[in-house]
């Protein structure tokens, strides 16, 4: 189905017009577009094809977008895949929940395809920049960017795409306090004051996955977070 060698993007959207428009434009931009018309099929395709990114509509028949998002984040094989949510006006609450569940970004319908493609490229680029050096190591935590793997004292930890970028960003700036806004900007790529608590949620989850090394990430009250030098 997908041409070999091209980065695969999976579109999970029940509205055929939107899905086809996205697929057409993504192919024009050099991606391989995979299409799923419902959540269950989308989930199955994500597990089979492991795309570089998922475009996920929130309002889907049967299994809704938030459930798909949760399932993608729960499965270690699909957790590292970045997700952009396709949302509608009036879905603000779902959008916040989606970001807390691990979605990386969202667009509001009707959106500009050109802007969406820019966001896709930004996320794929940030994925690379967050870690920078191909290997970062501190306090027993090692992040391997090319393999998209992290381990604590030699034991693999499964991180979502967001957690991976968050950890990479903090480690790369070890010793430096990063504000929630700075983290939003470099990990998620936009500034949105109302979603600052999204950062706290992800730091909390990241710490619990780091186990023994959790205290490597310090809370600097009233300011933000710092990775111990
Ligand atoms: Ca829909």
Tens of pLDDT, residue by residue over 96-123, are 888 888 898 999 999 999 999 999 998 8
pTM: 0.73
What's the mean per-residue pLDDT of the chain? 89
Question: How far, in Å, from the CA of 101 to the mean position of ligand 1?
Answer: 19
Q: At what angle do helices 65-74 and 39-49 cross, to 10 degrees?
A: 30
Mean pLDDT, rounded, for 73-94 = 88
Q: b vs e for 123-143, b when ≥16 Cβ sit within 10 Å of the residue's Cβ? A: beebbeebbeeeebebbebbb
Q: Enumerate residues with CB within 5 Å of ligand 1 (an ion).
A: 14, 57, 59
Question: How far, in Å, from the CA of 169 to the mean position of ligand 1?
Answer: 34
- What is the C-alpha R_g of the chain? 17
pLDDT recorded at residue 211: 92
How big is the CA angle at 101 (ends 152 and 21), to the nearest 5 degrees? 120
pLDDT recorded at residue 191: 54
Question: How far, in Å, from the CA of 32 to the mean position of ligand 1?
Answer: 22
Edge-to-edge strand list for the sheet holding 105-108: 32-36, 8-12, 53-57, 83-87, 105-108
Question: How far, in Å, from the CA of 58 to the mean position of ligand 1?
Answer: 6
Q: What does the alpha-carbon distance between residue 53 and residue 168 come to, in Å, rounded to a whole number?
A: 19
* pLDDT higher than 70, residue 31: yes
The predicted-structure confidence for 133-179, as pLDDT tens digits, reads as follows 678 888 899 988 777 789 999 899 999 888 998 999 899 888 999 99
């Amino acid at each position: 189905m997908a041409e070999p060698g091209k980065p695969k993007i999976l579109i999970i959207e029940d509205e055929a017009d939107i899905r086809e428009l996205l697929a057409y434009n993504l192919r024009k931009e050099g991606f391989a577009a995979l299409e799923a018309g419902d959540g269950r099929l989308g989930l199955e395709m994500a597990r089979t094809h492991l795309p570089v990114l998922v475009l996920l509509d929130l309002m889907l028949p049967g299994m809704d977008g938030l459930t798909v998002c949760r399932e993608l984040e729960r499965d270690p094989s699909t957790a590292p895949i970045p997700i952009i949510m396709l949302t509608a006006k009036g879905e603000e609450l779902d959008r916040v929940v989606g970001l807390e569940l691990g979605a990386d970004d969202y667009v509001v319908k009707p959106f500009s395809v050109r802007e969406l493609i820019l966001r896709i490229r930004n996320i794929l680029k940030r994925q690379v920049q967050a870690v920078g050096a191909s290997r970062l190591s501190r306090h027993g935590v090692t992040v391997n960017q090319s393999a998209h793997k992290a381990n604590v004292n030699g034991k693999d930890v499964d991180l979502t795409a967001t957690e991976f970028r968050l950890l990479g960003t903090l480690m790369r700036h070890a010793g430096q306090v990063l504000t929630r806004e700075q983290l939003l900007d470099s990990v998620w790529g936009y500034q949105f004051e109302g979603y600052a608590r999204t950062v706290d949620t992800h730091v909390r989850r990241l710490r619990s996955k780091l186990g023994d090394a959790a205290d490597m990430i310090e809370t600097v009250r009233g300011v933000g977070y710092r990775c111990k030098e």
